[in-house]
């Protein structure tokens, strides 16, 4: 028997580095006419580095002690930011303290008991605050004392932030009190600008950037990739809402994290980044980019369209 065109397209896409899970998934890829992409681990490499460690004056912590607290709490997490914090502590030869009661909250951060204190590491201000400011990014970060408080939408106490931070800033709190911030930057994937341009040409619509990170960190990546539609400070459900907002469009969503899984499921087609990707993202997506080569994404869309022309 001759192979049906969609199966041939799956085989060819595989050689380009995209594992498409079914003929139906292959077909959907050809139907997309809008694209939304996650930032961290998707447009960027997902291997950030800690660039600054800043204890809050009066916290009684020096840089090393702050990093030990953060790394001890982040140790069990798979999140790219967590791996960066752990790597920074290791690079300084610091010894971790044992952590108990670890919990991770997608899109927020982590919490664990270290030396008898509840340590949280996570986003520097509550989502409600971001929404009420319409996503603008002032020089002051309102700090949630805990994830619970962030959920309640209550703003914590403000801490001044230096103008130089255009990467990711995470907050470390001890028993609900901010004790410091860590700044992290992640490199753009080399193929990102070209891929964004190719997807814009294929769909006739400019791709959107959807991220849980701050507007400032999002803007840096958007500028570098030529994206103008930027939505920052999003929680996992906000990414779903953003995808569903484009209701008259067949949206392709590309992401890597646990926080991206709901949007991958809600989109017309979902593609996960394989290397840095969380298991949940890989399981939820219609296709997986196995070698993290972004150019494979427009290639798969083109292959699907060519196959569908043969089927029709």
Residue numbers annotated as active site: 38
Rule CB under 6 A: is residue 259 a binding residue for ligand ADP?
yes
Task: Please report whether residue 220 would count as binding ligand ADP according to CB under 6 A.
Answer: no
Indicate which single residue of 38, 74, 137, 286 sits in contact with Mg ion (rule: CB under 5 A): 38
Phi first, then psi: give them for residue 298, nearest 5 degrees: -60, -30
Residue 223: φ, ψ to 5°: -60, -45
Residue 186 interacts with Mg ion (CB under 5 A): yes or no: no
CA distance 208 to 228: 7
**Contact between 277 and ligand ADP per CB under 6 A:** no
- Select the residue interacting with ligand ADP from 26, 56, 114, 121 (CB under 6 A): 121
**How far, in Å, CA of 175 to CA of 162, rounded?**
25
189 binds ligand ADP, rule: CB under 6 A = no
109 binding ligand ADP? (CB under 6 A):
yes
Q: Which stretch binds ligand ADP (CB under 6 A): 21-29, 115-123, 278-286, 295-303?
A: 115-123
Question: Residue 44 binds what, of Mg ion, ligand ADP, none (CB under 5 to 8 Å, by partner type)?
Answer: none
Question: Pick from 30, 55, 122, 270: which binds ligand ADP (CB under 6 A)?
Answer: 122
Question: Contact between 256 and Mg ion (CB under 5 A)?
Answer: yes
**49, HSE (Cβ side, Cα atoms, 13 Å):** 4
Binding site for ligand ADP (CB under 6 A): 38-41, 74, 77, 79, 81-82, 107-110, 121-123, 168, 170, 211-213, 257, 259
């Amino acid at each position: 028997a001759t192979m049906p065109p969609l199966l041939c397209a799956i085989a060819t896409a595989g050689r380009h580095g995209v594992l498409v899970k079914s003929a139906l998934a292959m077909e959907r890829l050809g139907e997309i006419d809008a694209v939304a992409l996650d930032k961290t681990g998707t447009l960027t490499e997902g291997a950030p580095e800690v660039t600054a460690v800043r204890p809050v004056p009066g916290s009684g912590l020096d840089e090393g002690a702050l990093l030990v607290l953060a790394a001890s709490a982040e140790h069990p997490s798979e999140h790219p930011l967590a791996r960066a914090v752990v790597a920074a502590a290791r690079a300084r030869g610091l010894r971790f303290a044992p952590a108990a009661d670890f919990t991770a909250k997608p899109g927020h951060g982590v919490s664990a008991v270290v030396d008898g204190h509840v340590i949280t590491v996570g986003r520097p201000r509550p989502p409600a605050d971001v929404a009420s400011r319409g996503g603008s990014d002032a020089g002051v970060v309102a700090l949630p004392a805990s994830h619970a408080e962030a959920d309640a939408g209550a703003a914590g106490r403000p801490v001044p932030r230096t103008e130089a931070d255009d990467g990711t800033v995470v907050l470390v709190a001890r028993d609900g009190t901010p004790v410091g911030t860590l700044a992290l930057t992640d490199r753009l994937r080399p193929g990102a600008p070209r891929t964004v341009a190719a997807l814009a040409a294929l769909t006739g619509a400019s791709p959107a950037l959807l991220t849980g990170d701050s507007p400032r960190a999002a803007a840096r990546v958007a500028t570098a990739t030529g994206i103008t539609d930027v939505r920052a400070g999003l929680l996992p459900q906000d990414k779903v809402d953003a995808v569903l907002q484009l209701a008259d469009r067949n949206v392709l969503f590309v992401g890597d994290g646990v926080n991206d899984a709901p949007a991958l499921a809600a989109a017309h087609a979902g593609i996960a980044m394989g290397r840095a990707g969380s298991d949940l993202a890989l399981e939820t997506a219609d296709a997986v980019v196995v070698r993290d080569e972004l150019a494979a994404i427009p290639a798969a869309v083109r292959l699907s369209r060519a196959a569908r022309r043969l089927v029709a």
